[in-house]
Amino acid sequence: MMAVRYVWCWIALCSLLALSGCGKEPLYQEQGFVFGTLVEISIYGESEIHAKQAVADVMHEFQRLHNSLHAWQPSELSALNTAFANGETRVVSPELAAMLQDAAQLSKQSQGLFNPAIGGLVQVWGFHADEFKPVQPDESLVAQWVASNPQMSDLVIGASDSSSDKGGLGGVAVFSNNKAVQLDLGGYAKGYALDRAAAILYLRGIHHALINIGGNIIALGQHGERPWRVGIQHPRQSGALATLELHDGEAIGTSGDYQRYFMLGGRRYCHLIDPKSGHPVQGVQAVTVLTRGVRAGVLSDVASKPLFVAGARGWRAASAQMGVPEAMLVDAQGAIHLTRTMQKRLEFSDKKLRLQVE
């Protein structure tokens, strides 16, 4: 029987229901569903009318990005993948071209462990679907995709041949030197959307908010007189493994094997694929990173992936490569590995947990 679960990151916020309760605290909260996950926005200190309009603008932006970046439904990204498979150049929007350049740089920084070019492998394993069938693909097909070695470095962005201009005027021509490149920005798009949401709220004059896209969270300002407090989902239990205060401009992102997966033969197969082996990563339950700065959202989404793929032996080196000194990994046995700077930020629900500070 197929085992598919979507477990949303638990958020430990005090008085989230203030508006629906006694109304003493100016907190507006709204939920939606986009990017295939739950989205939650909380705004503090603004009138309901102002907050509601700002949230509507953010939700509209999220839907726009979802429509543009969908990997297996008609979108600008899927049209680009079709062009790659046919050996064609396609003109894309300047926004998408910039995203691809950024993702390529981050892939290089991760030494290929973050690799949005392996969308073909993700599809082979059945994760380009809303429901996942417990079927292991033909090993020869997996080996074929690994041998084709699609990389972000295969992309030529700003290619001179724009004869297949199907993207409209004012775009950027993109070509792939490798027909096997199939882009899947699922490990980038939510983070990009967080940064866009923060920019929109600032533009609307809102400086105190918390934005959560399926466990990727960014904080603006604070919750009244205190910082926003959020929780990290326990990968095998309901509720939070730990909580922390999230300060202005900080973001947190978690990659786990408990969100998109199927069970087969008593083994868990998650959507996080090792580009080198072509198989879902084993040996890790979850990775959480804490980031900050102008691209905190993007980095919170991207940086957790190479740490997850690197596993319990290589995660620490990967965190250094990605420039995220605050990180935590939960291995297959439930042991918690974390950096010293991350340990200082977390408050664990179980005080008896054994922590391996590395």
Query: Concatenated DSSP letters for 223-274?
Result: BTTB-EEEEEE-SSSSSEEEEEEE-TTEEEEEEETTSSEEEETTEEEES-B-
**Domains recognised in the chain with CATH numbers:** 27-68+187-357 (3.10.520.10), 71-176 (1.10.3980.10)
Is the whole model's pTM more than 0.75, yes or no?
A: yes
pLDDT tens by residue, 167-184: 445 799 999 999 999 999
How many whole angstroms separate alpha carbon 123 and alpha carbon 101? Answer: 23
pLDDT band at 1 (very low <50, low <70, confident <90, very high): very low
Backbone φ and ψ of 66, nearest 5°: -60, -45
pLDDT tens by residue, 2-56: 333 333 333 333 333 333 334 457 999 999 999 989 999 999 999 999 999 999 9
SS3 state of residue 25 = coil
- Among 91, 79, 89, which Cα is nearest to 182's? 79
